[in-house]
Amino acid sequence: MLKPRSALFLVPGLLLALLLSGCVRPATTAREAPDTRALDEKAIRENEAAWVKAFATKEPEKAAAFYADDAASMLPDTPLMTGKQAIIAGMKPELGDPNFSLVFAPTKVEIAKSGDMAYSQGRFQYTTTDPKTRKRVGQAGNYVEVYKKQADGTWKVEEDIATEETPLEPLKSEK
């Protein structure tokens, strides 16, 4: 049995322990993921630069490698293409054109705080052959790419959306 004097020290000690335990931050079971948005933005900008080079090869499979398998592509004057195979099929006639050229670069890249989704926004320049006149024509426009981070950490395009700023028109050197 405790002596009254011992109990006198025990009660304040217990109260102090309870008070201090309320001030301690509980340990979390899940660790917060590090913020990699700056690195992800850099990766997407580099990805788009590599994509322009892939288009320059005029090989549909290389250009389509930047799309997710279930991606959708919405381009001016073109039916909606859903799925990588449909996108490859849609690219073949364009990339087979000797005058084909596509250059684009992002002006903005935003990464979701969750780190699994992102989008880029930018401008493009497109050159092709007019099927009626057989002359080179060009077009300028804007685009938005919606990206999803893959299990291996790479980024793939889920949605490819482009809008024309100018209609297809003969290039100045062709007028």
The CATH number covering residue 53 comes to 3.10.450.50
Q: Is residue 59 part of a domain?
A: yes
Strands 136-149 and 155-164, sheet pairing: antiparallel
In a domain, 6, yes or no: no
Residue 104 lies in a domain: yes
Residue pLDDT, tens place only, 22-49:
555 555 556 777 899 999 999 999 999 9
Per residue in 60-86, pLDDT (tens digit) is: 999 999 999 999 999 988 999 999 999
The C-alpha atoms of residue 175 and residue 165 are separated, in whole angstroms, by: 20
The domain tally of the chain equals 1
DSSP 83: S
Residue 83 is predicted with a pLDDT of 98
The pLDDT of residue 152 is 96
Q: Is residue 170 part of a domain?
A: no
Domain annotation covers residue 173: no
Check pLDDT > 50 for residue 15: no
pLDDT at 153 over 90: yes
Q: Considering the domain boundaries, does residue 15 fall inside one?
A: no
11 within some domain:
no
Q: Is the pTM of this model over 0.85?
A: no
- Mean pLDDT, the chain, rounded, equals 88
Domain enclosing residue 137, as ranges: 37-164
The answer to whether position 1 is within a domain reads no
Q: How far is residue 76 from each of residues 39, 67, 168, measured CA to CA in Å?
A: 32, 18, 10
